[in-house]
Amino acid sequence: MATETVITTPLPAGATQQSVVASLHDHALYIRTTCPQLVSQKHVSGAPGPDQPCVYEITDKRPVGQTTFTMTLTNVADGVDAVIDGRAPTGSIVVRSKWRARADALEEVVEIESNVVTKKLIKGNVEKAHPGFHQAFFAEAVKA
């Protein structure tokens, strides 16, 4: 069974729903923001567009070594859907995120599928790091 968490951050002054959506639709920005330990990214398939899945191979630095996983980003009218499909020594990991820009907030619903211990660790990391990711998207939205 998947574990779910929701992160909601109010839009700051100067950021509009449309500018936040535009920031979320910028896949290079999305990857740089949500993968702060990024080593490399490679476009695998798809073209960014409405409801068109775009697949990337991401290599991230970890405390010990590196990890490579697949990230699929799909632009939707009010945000972006992201699916991370990876492996850990403990088994497979799938993280699905639905980022939605509302008139007054950015809401992210995250669903995590993995073993019990890894789910708990990932959920804690998401709840700690993702509010900062929201702020990074807002900073870009205010520039627009």
Q: Where are the domains of the chain?
A: 3-143
Both tokens of 68, joined, read 């490579």
Query: CA–CA separation, 134 vs 137, rounded Å?
Result: 5
Contact between 118 and 3 under an 8 Å Cβ cutoff? The reply is no
pTM of this structure? 0.93
- Digit-coded pLDDT (tens) for 18-47: 999 999 999 999 999 999 899 999 999 998
CATH number for the domain running over 3-143: 3.30.530.20
What letter represents residue 127's amino acid? E
**Above 90 in pLDDT, residue 16?**
yes
Neighbour-count burial of 52, counting CB atoms closer than 10 A to its CB (0-12 exposed, 13-18 middle, 19+ buried) = exposed
Residue 5's H or E segment, with its range, is strand 3-10
- Digit-coded pLDDT (tens) for 85-134: 998 777 899 999 999 999 999 999 999 999 988 899 899 999 999 999 99
CA distances from 130 to 47, 50, 124 (A): 26, 24, 10
- Digit-coded pLDDT (tens) for 49-61: 899 999 999 999 9
